[in-house]
Copies of this chain bind each other. A is one copy, B any other.
Amino acid sequence: MSKRIAGPEIERLIQLLAKVPGLGPRSARRAALHLIKKKDQLLSPLANAMGEAVEKVRICSTCGNVDTADPCMICTDPRRDDATLIVVEDVSDLWALERASAMNVRYHVLGGTLSPLDGIGPDQLNIRSLVDRIAGGTVKEVILAVNATVEGQTTAHYITDQLSGFDVKVTRLAHGVPVGGELDYLDEGTLAAALKSRTTF
């Protein structure tokens, strides 16, 4: 705002809300006003929830997930299969896979992808701890669920190399047509991969 129309506390709230992904300067003002109007039902509980998150959230020292416990809920869940480990780039990927509820297994969060130009080498990612986990001998299959980008694939190749000395199967996610997707809108690479990996009907 060019002109100050409210106390500094409200303007600071708007400025900080504008940094939340999904909100811009304009929607941050709307959000701030809504929060202020619903002070008791929303603003106050949200302030408390955030304060608690600041206090309690930590990175799991085993898998790199974020949680309020270390080791995290997934690492300590006794009903999960220890023999399978899904490697993801980011916690958001772990959450996405968990929402799909596809497999009841363990995870390992790399924290990014190899990107030499940005100064991100193997030491900046959780690759050493991954190798250590595999060296433990319990894991029989590592599923590389990295993004299908150049960086993701480079990282996948590097990890495969690092794990070549261990008795572990390394797999990757299937390429193909997204469920509900229309062929017309798909790129050639995906279509070619989907054709190549066709299955019996």
Contacts and interface: CB of A to CB of B under 8 A. Distances in A.
Interface stretch (A18-26, A117-125, A175-183, A192-200): A18-26
A10 interface: yes
Interface string A70-110: 00111000000000000000011011001101000000000
A136 interface: no
A69 B7 contact: yes
Interface residues of A, number: 59
A135 interface: no
Nearest to A54: B44
A27 to B, nearest CB: 4
A5 interface: yes
A39 interface: yes
Given A7-B67, A7-B69, A7-B73, A13 B50 contact: yes
24 contacts: A1-B98, A2-B101, A3-B101, A5-B95, A5-B98, A6-B66, A6-B72, A7-B68, A9-B52, A9-B56, A10-B68, A13-B50, A20-B23, A20-B35, A20-B46, A21-B27, A22-B30, A22-B31, A35-B50, A36-B66, A39-B53, A39-B54, A44-B54, A47-B54
